[in-house]
Chain A
Amino acid sequence: MKKLAETMRNTKSWSKLLLLVLTYAIIHLLIIFGIIQDFQQITLTTICINIILAVSLNLITGFTGQFSLGHAGFMSIGAYTCALITMRMPTIPGFILGLVAGAVAAAIVGILVGLPTLRLRGDYLAIATLGMSEIIRIVFLNLNITNGAAGLSGIPQFVNWPWLFVFTAGTILLIVNFLKSSHGRACISIREDEIAAEAMGINTTKYKVTAFAIGAFCAGIAGALYASYFFFIKPTTFNFQKSVDVLVMVVLGGMGSVSGSVLAAILLALISTFLQSFSELRMVIYSLILIIIMIFRPQGLMGSKELSLSMLSKLGSKFSFRKGRV
């Protein structure tokens, strides 16, 4: 019995690995053969960056229950740090250094901001993080080194599909592993009932700050990837609207569902690309879609469930069963 369970677990992790490799290879081939062209590659990059942002915000808001509206702030720290470093060291080691430095800087700011503000609950925390993120933006807007409102341009470009894949898949994997561990469960218990969690020996402040730091770290990575791919950043890129966009992905996908966040990030990027041809009406349609989804599915696409391979196969068999009956 135990052996069977183990084999099953092994098959499961093997099939997951296979799926990852396949995803990578297929998209890589599509790029090589020019089926995915430059324009679609922009969408692909946006999807990857949005996945990192949404999954990491979901860790903070969906799993740990700390309502944050400051993700754009952490992203901007990663973006500016990486940009400033790679502009002085335009090499691959320079880029890696910039990326790591950006992520670490974002995590440090996350801890510094988190320590005093994470005592706040619900909307108060959201407003405090929003304020923090606006302060960061205004600082970048006024510093000489960041070139003010004009922003930084000519950032050396290193990011391509392999980089994107490694960081996106890596972020998802590490966060999923974390959530399955005792530390991750400690975070989730805070969302469920903070008072009970603390009575059961969970240092709630420590785990809130931990979740916040991990989330900020990943947002820093996303920012660094953004800066390097789009080679141009300015403070308004990381305004309040950006934080809201990420929150929308999290809620739309389902709070507390990693696969939901991934789905929502892909879906919203596709919708946004598709709507580009409507130019002026783009945002109007986007906002209507948002309102309609929330009215008819307030728990998000996935609720708090995860998409799994077994669920897909179940869905498949249901479908074929139906077809058989017809």
Chain B
Amino acid sequence: MSSSESTVALSTDSNNNHQAYLPSELGVWMFVFGDLLIFSVLFASYAWERVQQHSIFLISQNELSQTFGVINTILLLTGSLFVVLALHSARNNKLSQTKKLLLLAIATGVGFFINKVFEYKDKVSDGFTLLTNDFFMFYYMLTGIHLLHVCVGTGALIYLYKRLSCQGISTDNIKHLESGGIIWHMVDLLWIALFPLLYLIK
């Protein structure tokens, strides 16, 4: 979503420049695709093990709480929306609105984290740990790695918030906001793949 928006934004401020506009910078995109590559490998090895131990995976999957999963999905998707809106207000030079939206996005990240901690506690108290079986190994590892991404993404948003508070809106900061948005969308995208793989697929 953000990339198409950015294209629109740029066509207005660089009419004489026909070069395609790349939101953020090349390195960020390299990082994102590299990260997606690694998650693809993780998903593939999960799928491979699932085929090998289908019944164990199905039984274990039923122990997961879809409520927690759905709440987290909604939190992340809303967070993505807030980041997009924040970028939009930054482009329109509305500082206080940008900061408010960023705070909301940060809140969704923190909410995701808290929700996940409760979910883990729930699972552990039911006796399901990393070592229960291969399904729970993947469950903890995949969601754990993803949670780390959420933490990094939230940290990036907090950094952006502080930067905006100190320096106000500038071309440089919009560029940074785009990078933050891309990272946040990636975290979102990964969850959209993770959620059905772990919680829904039958």
Q: Real complex partners, A and B? A: no
- What is B's interface to A at a CB cutoff of 8 Å? none
